[in-house]
Amino acid sequence: MTYLQAQNNAVMDYPRRDASDKLRGRTKYTVDQGGLETLHAVLVRSEVASGKIIQLDAKAALEMPGVRGIATSVDAPGSHGLGIADHPIFADGHVRYHGEPIAAIAAKTRRQALEAAKKVVVKIEASKPNLTMAQSLAKDARLIHPDWEDYEILYDGAARGGNIAWEATVRRGDTQAEFDRDDITVVEGCYRVGRQNHVSFEPRAVIASFEDGRFHVITSTQVPWTVRHVTAKVLEIPESHVRVTVPPVGGGFGLKFDCSLEPYAAILAKKTGQPVSLINSREEEMLTCLCRENAEIRLKSAVTKDGEIVAREGTVLMDAGAYGGEQVFLTTMTAHTLGGNYRLGAAKIASQAVYTNTPPNGAFRACNGVYNTFALERHTDEICKAIGMDPVAFRKLNVVGDGSLGATGQVFEGDVLGPMLDRMDVLISKDSPAEVDTSEYLYGRATTVGTWFIFVGPSAATVNLNADGSATLVTSGVEIGSGTMMQSLPQMVGADLGIHPDNVIVKTADTDASGRDLGVGGGRTTVSIGAASTAACAEVRDKLFEIASELLQTATNKLVLVNGRVEIAGMAGSGMPIQTVIAEAEARNGPIAGSGAFTAPGTPAMPGCAAGHFIDAIDIPVFAVHDCEVAVHKETGKVSVLSYRVVQDVGRAINPRAIRSQVQGGVVQGMGYALSEEITINDKGCIDQDGFETYKIPSVGDVLPIDLDLFEGAPSAGPLGTKGAGEVPILNVGASIACAVANATGKKVNELPLTPPRVLELMSEDSRSLDLEHIQSDWEKNVLG
Amino acid sequence: MAIRLTINGEKQVFHGDPRTSLLEVLRDTFRLTGAKDVCGEGFCGTCNVHINGEALPACLRPIGMLEGAEVTTIEGLSPMGTFNAVQAALEKHDVVQCGMCFPGLVMTMSKFFETNSNPSRAEIKSAMTGNLCRCTGYELIVDALASIAHERGLVQ
């Protein structure tokens, strides 16, 4: 099959095969599994945010009815992390956040485990917690990790110090020289966002057992290989002693991109000799979720009167919580999200993961980009106001295009954002502006742009061709709901092998069966696993053609795979069923299989301008243009979204219906972030929102249909030109709504979410400006190195 | 304490604490895991089942209050091999994502369509208000459900 044929055959609105069981309640998620012999575990968690453990006594708990085992820090000596190993799974003598696990108990029933947990004696000498980044960065701040210099370094090259767990910086060009020019306008602004809880409907959950000297971990995760690695690291055992398998996952959004409960269950399984199930309660999910981090941002730009951005400086503080975790990695993203969208002259950008005595944060759909895009787009509108330029015209003038430099000096390929803005013009022109009653409402509209990327990296795939002509795809991919495993991969493999996607069996993730993989997230599955699968198919195809070439007395380059047959190109019916070729191959050499691998293609950045980054340049940038209209109620401050339009760069849409579904869902999740999902942390360091009553995610009454235009044809290293489409839809929702509210109210909108009280406060003040005094206007004073 | 009730057409007896929620009884005692435990406080609708003909959250119903009740769960809604109109529409329109919320949603909307075979889009949305979903953004679900009346030739 030629490349062009594969492209065309892969494109379809292929329905997902898991829908039927999900609609019957038959799908067995991790929370639905476990047999009669399975024990139930609970975690004993700290009820203070900071302090020293002076007594931990579990004897009485161990004697409670039904209890089979208890684990504490002595059972898990290792620490884990990204960049630095700063995180023990049990508090190691010090507690650093409210909710930190101190002990784990397994009993015959969950109720027995909960009763026993009450008998664990924990005495903590509490100390005053640092609950905000400003507190942690104060000159006399208490160190949350006094021994930070002694931690194992897992990734070299970043500046660290005090309560700054990690710092990533960009220095490209001489910003000061540009700011000193007398023909420019300087615009400066501060922005702040809160945390967002993923609220995946299936909580984090695991069932672990110890079988034949190895651990078997069944878990609701996006990253089976990370679970394998971290479990082994904290137990200080070889990674090969851990097998991870993954049932269907009931929602991820990045929450399950880190190892969380798995090691506790594994330890207890070995101790008790029985399988152990550990499932977070909803309250635990709300209070200890690896939320999208709260962040504080200062931006300063030098712009000419013609609208050229000659210099930009930006500092982003990302609240890591008590342990560095994924925030360390996510500091990398700032260079590409704040440094994306627009062509810049000189640039200095810093991103710091800051320790606080709060629950650790993590990755969440379009991680880091969502709030940086909010800040950048608000800042852009403030620039436009300062120089008197139309915001859309400014964007058309400045968005990155073919040959533009990114913040780290990477050269972008292709004109994408500019044409997408033109496409948005067309989309907007199809409808009249929404009508509002101006006696009650203020009307606002905004168009924003966004840049994110596909997180590539290693993936592996094996394709086994079966005697009946079907194929079995073996990867570490996980179906988290996006449909990648159920739709795009079978479509691609089916197209490559000339069989229907129904005839592509997709093996669920099993680290004993499949090659290493970075996991499902960052929009990478279709691209990375897809590319590995395509490579595996190529090997299968070569083997088939080698045999068929002899059988058909035709050169291999004249053969194609189509409709389950090997055919001579252009001569339908000239060949033979694929089963015939497989049978011949088995007789000669054995069954046909192919293996494939993929990793980051590697895009060059300017040498020496970036420090502390895990990714210096982005291999596959993805772009989005959003537009919305809002009405702001003058009396209540309630923001209603009247229309929402998206032009999204998808590379190539192989399942347009599935993408539409992802965009609708992603934008609505973004509306929650922009308008209602607010997390506050009380003076005990505990998150206030402990359930659905207090944390308001959008319901059906809060949403509207998204008007979508898929932009195809942008450069991509993905198979068939694809880019992951599920991550990006949330990227500039907060930005678009905030800019529209600013246009409606005429006020500076510097914070999210825009809850009615916050909007009312905004409208009631004559002039409101957020000043984050702990971030210096002089950029160099903020950075360590 | 023994509580007698009918679940999916079969007479069952639960022995235990009458304060135990119906959801816990369904999932842990009878291994009917179709109803999901998501919020535990009656806000999300994912554990909705039919209790004496009403779609209600199982997490808020102590089993002790259900002596003699008729309970239908998602497993008992439609025989294997068949789908009711709601399930068929949701499958046909390919709106399922992670799927955790769908058992409860199907129970709610199946009961709704029993009482209103030709609802408007607004009525569908109103009936769905108690069923939260984190993946889909709702609108495509509403499209799917609105098609039921269309396909029956009952368009409002």
Are B65 and B19 part of one and the same domain?
Answer: yes
SS3 A327: helix
Q: CB distance from B107 to chain A under 8 Å?
A: no
- Order of strands across the sheet with A121-126? A94-95, A51-57, A121-126
Q: How close is the nearest chain B Cα to the Cα of A350, in Å? A: 33
pLDDT band at B1 (very low <50, low <70, confident <90, very high): confident
Among residues of chain A, what percentage have pLDDT more than 70?
99
Residues 17-36 of chain B whose Cβ lies under 8 A from any Cβ of chain A: 27, 32-36
Is A6's pLDDT higher than 60?
Answer: no
Q: Which of A253, A325, A230, A264 is nearest to A101 (CA)?
A: A264
- Measured in whole angstroms, the distance separating CA A15 from the mean position of its chain's CA atoms is 25
Quick one: A17 exposed, middle or buried, by C-beta within 10 A (0-12, 13-18, 19+)?
middle
Rounded mean pLDDT, A509-537: 96
Residue A94 is predicted with a pLDDT of 96
Q: Does domain A295-455+605-781 have CATH number 3.30.420.10?
A: no
* Whether A505 contacts A473, CB under 8 Å: yes
* Whether A525 contacts A484, CB under 8 Å: yes
Residue A767 is predicted with a pLDDT of 65
CATH number at residue B57: 3.10.20.30
Question: Are the Cβ atoms of B41 and A691 closer than 8 angstroms?
Answer: yes
The pairing of strands B70-72 and B2-7 is parallel
Per residue in A189-205, pLDDT (tens digit) is 999 999 999 999 999 99
Nearest-5° Cα angle at A431, A429 to A436: 120
Residue B156 is predicted with a pLDDT of 44
Q: Is the dihedral of CA A409, A410, A414, A417 positive or negative?
A: negative
Residue B154 is predicted with a pLDDT of 56
Domain with CATH 3.30.365.10 in chain A: 3-27+457-598, 295-455+605-781
Question: Could you give the dihedral angle defined by the CA atoms of residues A497, A500, A501 and A504, in that order, rounded to the nearest 10 degrees?
Answer: -60
Are B121 and B143 part of one and the same domain?
Answer: yes
Residue ranges of alpha helices (H) inside A523-623 are: 530-552, 578-588
Per residue in A130-158, pLDDT (tens digit) is 999 999 999 999 999 999 999 999 999 89
* Whether A126 contacts A51, CB under 8 Å: yes
Domain end among B34, B58, B76: B76
Cα–Cα distance between A764 and A559 in angstroms, integer?
Answer: 72
Nearest-5° Cα angle at B106, B104 to B107: 65
**In the block, residue with structure tokens 């347009």:** A656
**In the block, residue with structure tokens 């050169």:** A555
User: Mutate which of B19, B86, B97, B143 to disrupt the A interface (most A C-beta within 10 Å)?
Assistant: B97
Are B13 and B59 part of one and the same domain?
Answer: yes
* Whether A578 contacts A561, CB under 8 Å: yes
The pairing of strands A276-279 and A39-45 is parallel
Which member of B78, B126, B134 has the closest CB to residue A251? B134
Rounded mean pLDDT, A419-429: 98
Cα–Cα distance between A633 and A439 in angstroms, integer?
Answer: 9
Cis peptide bond upstream of A753, omega within 30:
yes
Q: How close is the nearest chain B Cα to the Cα of A373, in Å? A: 21
Q: Which of A582, A342, A332 is nearest to A465 (CA)?
A: A582
Cα–Cα distance between A167 and A354 in angstroms, integer?
Answer: 9
Cα–Cα distance between B156 and B116 in angstroms, integer?
Answer: 12
Is A452's pLDDT higher than 70?
Answer: yes
pTM (predicted TM-score): 0.97
The pairing of strands A346-355 and A309-321 is parallel
Question: Are the Cβ atoms of A23 and B106 closer than 8 angstroms?
Answer: yes
Are B69 and B125 part of one and the same domain?
Answer: no
Q: Which residues of B touch A694 (CB under 8 A)?
A: none
Largest distance between two CA atoms of chain A? 84
Q: How many CB atoms lie within 10 A of CB A37?
A: 10
Q: Which residues of A touch B35 (CB under 8 A)?
A: 25
Rounded mean pLDDT, A328-332: 97
Task: Characterise A46 by phi-psi region: left (phi > 0), alpha (psi -120 to 50), beta (else).
Answer: beta
**In the block, residue with structure tokens 């996607």:** A501
Domain end among B76, B98, B118: B76
Cα–Cα distance between B49 and B23 in angstroms, integer?
Answer: 9
Per residue in A651-665, pLDDT (tens digit) is 999 999 999 999 999
How high is the mean pLDDT of chain A?
96
Rounded mean pLDDT, A732-754: 97
Question: Are the Cβ atoms of B98 and A26 closer than 8 angstroms?
Answer: no
Cα–Cα distance between A736 and A648 in angstroms, integer?
Answer: 14
Question: Are the Cβ atoms of A31 and B90 closer than 8 angstroms?
Answer: no
Per residue in B70-114, pLDDT (tens digit) is 999 999 999 888 999 999 999 999 999 999 999 999 999 999 999
Rounded mean pLDDT, A416-425: 98
User: What CATH number belongs to A33-123+204-279?
Assistant: 3.90.1170.50
Which member of B39, B90, B139 has the closest CB to residue A23? B90
Residue A61 is predicted with a pLDDT of 98
Question: Are the Cβ atoms of A693 and B132 closer than 8 angstroms?
Answer: no
- Measured in whole angstroms, the distance separating CA A44 from the mean position of its chain's CA atoms is 29
Q: Which residues of A touch B38 (CB under 8 A)?
A: 201-202, 282
Question: Are the Cβ atoms of A697 and B132 closer than 8 angstroms?
Answer: yes
DSSP labels for A352-405?
Answer: EEEE-SS---B--SSTTHHHHHHHHHHHHHHHHHHHT--HHHHHHHHB--TT-B
Per residue in A749-778, pLDDT (tens digit) is 999 999 999 999 999 987 667 999 999 999
When divided into structural domains, chain B yields a total of: 2
Q: Which residues of A touch B44 (CB under 8 A)?
A: 201, 692
Residue A117 is predicted with a pLDDT of 98
Structure-token pair, residue A292 = 């999208």
Domain end among B76, B96, B125: B76
Q: Which residues of A touch B141 (CB under 8 A)?
A: 700
Are B99 and B118 part of one and the same domain?
Answer: yes
Rounded mean pLDDT, A224-228: 98
Is A123's pLDDT higher than 80?
Answer: yes
Q: What single-letter DSSP state applies at residue B66?
A: G
Give me the count of residues in chain A. 785
Is A354's pLDDT higher than 50?
Answer: yes
Are B51 and B114 part of one and the same domain?
Answer: no
Question: Are the Cβ atoms of B75 and A24 closer than 8 angstroms?
Answer: yes
Question: Are the Cβ atoms of A691 and B43 closer than 8 angstroms?
Answer: yes
User: Mutate which of A14, A16, A22 to disrupt the B interface (most B C-beta within 10 Å)?
Assistant: A22
Per residue in B120-137, pLDDT (tens digit) is 999 999 999 999 999 999
Task: Characterise A171 by phi-psi region: left (phi > 0), alpha (psi -120 to 50), beta (else).
Answer: beta
Cα–Cα distance between A140 and A753 in angstroms, integer?
Answer: 31
Q: Which of A483, A478, A489, A500 is nearest to A527 (CA)?
A: A489
Question: Are the Cβ atoms of B129 and A700 closer than 8 angstroms?
Answer: yes
Residue A9 is predicted with a pLDDT of 87
Q: CB distance from A668 to chain B under 8 Å?
A: yes
Helix (H) or strand (E) holding A85: strand A84-85
* Whether A706 contacts A768, CB under 8 Å: no
Return the number of CB contacts < 8 Å for A and B.
157
Residue B143 is predicted with a pLDDT of 97
Structure-token pair, residue A268 = 């207890």
Q: Could you tell me the residue range of the domain that residue B98 belongs to?
A: 85-153
CATH number at residue B147: 1.10.150.120
Helix (H) or strand (E) holding A334: helix A325-337
Per residue in A10-64, pLDDT (tens digit) is 999 999 999 999 999 999 999 999 988 999 999 999 999 999 999 999 999 999 9
- For the stretch A269-297, what's the b/e string if a residue is b when 16 or more beta carbons lie within 10 angstroms of its beta carbon? bbbbebbbbbbbbbbbbbbbbbbbbbbbb
User: What CATH number belongs to A3-27+457-598?
Assistant: 3.30.365.10
Is A729's pLDDT higher than 70?
Answer: yes
**In the block, residue with structure tokens 């000043």:** A771
Beta bridge partners of A640: A631
**In the block, residue with structure tokens 């554990």:** B47
Q: CB distance from B103 to chain A under 8 Å?
A: yes
* Whether B44 contacts B132, CB under 8 Å: yes
DSSP labels for A498-515?
Answer: TS-GGGEEEPPPBTTTS-
Q: CB distance from A706 to chain B under 8 Å?
A: yes
Question: Are the Cβ atoms of B103 and A25 closer than 8 angstroms?
Answer: yes
DSSP labels for A108-170?
Answer: SSHHHHHHHHTT-EEEEEE-----SHHHHHSTTPPPSSTTGGGSEESS---EEETTEEEEEEE
Query: CB under 8 Å to A152, separation ≥6 — which residues?
Result: A79, A84, A85
Residue B150 is predicted with a pLDDT of 72
Domain with CATH 3.90.1170.50 in chain A: 33-123+204-279
The pairing of strands A639-651 and A707-712 is parallel
- Report the residue of chain A nearest B40, measured CA to CA: A282
- Report the residue of chain A nearest B105, measured CA to CA: A23
- Measured in whole angstroms, the distance separating CA A163 from the mean position of its chain's CA atoms is 25
Q: Which of B34, B70, B55, B155 is nearest to B110 (CA)?
A: B55
Which member of B37, B39, B95 has the closest CB to residue A692? B39
**Tally of CA atoms within 13 A in the half-sphere of A115 that contains its CB:** 11
Q: Which of A292, A340, A526 is nearest to A448 (CA)?
A: A340
Structure-token pair, residue A745 = 């109210």
Q: Which of A618, A53, A684 is nearest to A338 (CA)?
A: A618
Are B41 and B90 part of one and the same domain?
Answer: no
- Report the residue of chain A nearest B78, measured CA to CA: A24
Cα–Cα distance between A517 and A28 in angstroms, integer?
Answer: 24
Q: Is the dihedral of CA A89, A95, A100, A102 positive or negative?
A: positive
Question: Are the Cβ atoms of A701 and B125 closer than 8 angstroms?
Answer: yes
